[in-house]
Amino acid sequence: MSTPPLASGPAGPDALRPLLDTVLDALTAGRDERGGPFPAGGPDAVAARVADALGDVLPETGDPDALRALVHALAAGSADPADPLCTAHLHCPPLAVATAADLAASALNPSLDSWDQAPAASALEAAVTRTLARTAGLADALVTTGGTESNQLALLLAREAHGGGVRLVCGANAHHSLPRAAWLLGLPDPVVIPAPNGTLDPAALDEALTALPGPLFVAATAGTTDAGLIDPLPEIAGLCTAHGTRLHIDAAYGGGLLLSDRHRDRLAGLEAAHTVTLDLHKLGWQPVAAGLLAVARPHELTTLHQRADYLNADDDTEAGLPDLLGRSPRTSRRPDILKIAVTLKALGRSGLGALVDQVCARAREFAALVREHPGFELYDRPVISTVLFRPAEADDDTVATVRRRLLHEGRAVLGRARLDGRLWLKATVLNPHTRPDDLAHLLKLVELAERSLPG
């Protein structure tokens, strides 16, 4: 058997070209087989189709059709975020230009744990992260795998800045990764502040900050996962300043509003934070992963510094080779910054801002459709691009059953959220190609699914 070709090196591009044709053809065939936003039949049916395509996981001899067969199976069995009827989660359809850039990153395979593995990628990352941090009103940023890692890093930096001890104070609406990060870091149980109407209550926060001994770490949210709501950031920032308390803002969802001239003001107060979570594989149209943690005090990043002679020997650093180990708690690390940099340069602020404006506008249009339909109830006007709604006379069991039926039939992918003690269907509009008639069709599918239920 001949040695398989490599993706890079002199022969790399020529080796990739026919394989890319295979992948693209398989993606098309898989999409056609799926025939909609989601594979029909439920978990057992999907697993059976995957098992049929996979066969023997580690055969004695290789299968030359493996690439086509498994890409086809994955495409046929995937939720398609580019389908306007796939709106359940903060699961964006990635831009083609970003996906193409990600291919280059995979082919070249730089690893950002030492300069001699990633000379150009490390320079690119340094420049782009500083620019994105300044966009948020902060000084520098680290690339992360997403909101969960960013939130954990923010709490780690706070713990070390306070000599090893800090207590998390967050709203009942905060992302689950924050209390989990406190547990992972061995910190006290978080203090949870009420979040009536889905946002943190400043009066209750003031009371807690007055009564609690420090040091404290307040985490606010700009774009909740359930309804896309934004905490009152200016008030929270003012309270943190008055009480001398560290402020973190989880803007994994809402951070994309910074790109829009029309919507940027909704994030007033962001610049007062010590740390900010950003996540461009949500409202930034990047392939996973594309997270960042922006920081106001870059010197605090020294807490991540490690010395490993094979990666950042003292004499290499003194000779001018950049030391990358303090830029992440991870060691091997792919250049996720490339796809972000390509997108920023290719579309510019105005191009990306237009995408943000489009999805926010489509969400408002969908909310208006719901509000005007006598058979549905709207939770509230969307703050970003998430719309919560439910059949007007349905109980929670019916709402849950309607959602699962649409999934099982592969017709639509809707999320779920519990607010005000009731279960709501959730549509998060992240596809800028969504049209008004797509939204009307989505509402009609829900209506028909409810009518088809027995009783």
- Rounded CA gap, 393 and 316, in Å? 69
* Secondary structure (3-state) at 155: helix
Q: Is the dihedral of CA 401, 407, 409, 412 positive or negative?
A: positive
- Please tell me the predicted confidence (pLDDT) of residue 2: 84
pLDDT in tens, 308-320: 999 999 999 999 9
pTM: 0.97
**Burial code of 270-291, b = ≥16 C-beta within 10 A, e = fewer?**
bebbbbbbbbbbbbbbbbbebb
Q: Give the pLDDT confidence of 76-100 residue by residue, as tens digits.
A: 999 999 999 999 999 999 999 999 9
pLDDT digits (tens, 9 = 90+) for 433-452: 999 999 999 999 999 999 99
Let me know: does 284 contact 139? Beta carbons within 8 Å. no
Tens digit of pLDDT for each residue in 332-363? 999 999 999 999 999 999 999 999 999 999 99
**Which range is least confidently modeled, 2-6, 78-82, 137-141?**
2-6
**What single string gives the DSSP state of each residue in 329-366?**
S-SS---THHHHHHHHHHHHHHHHHHHHHHHHHHHHHH
Please list the residues that pair with 416 across neighbouring strands: 425
Q: Which helix (H) or strand (E) holds 211?
A: helix 202-211
- The owner of tokens 């009371």 is 207
- Looking at residue 1, its pLDDT comes to 63
> Contact 246/272 with Cβ under 8 angstroms?
no
What does the pLDDT look like over 211-246, one tens digit per residue?
A: 999 899 999 999 999 999 999 999 999 999 999 999
User: Is residue 455's pLDDT more than 80?
Assistant: no
Please give the angle made by the CA atoms of 359, 363 and 366, to the nearest 5 degrees: 135
Tell me, what's the pLDDT at 389?
98
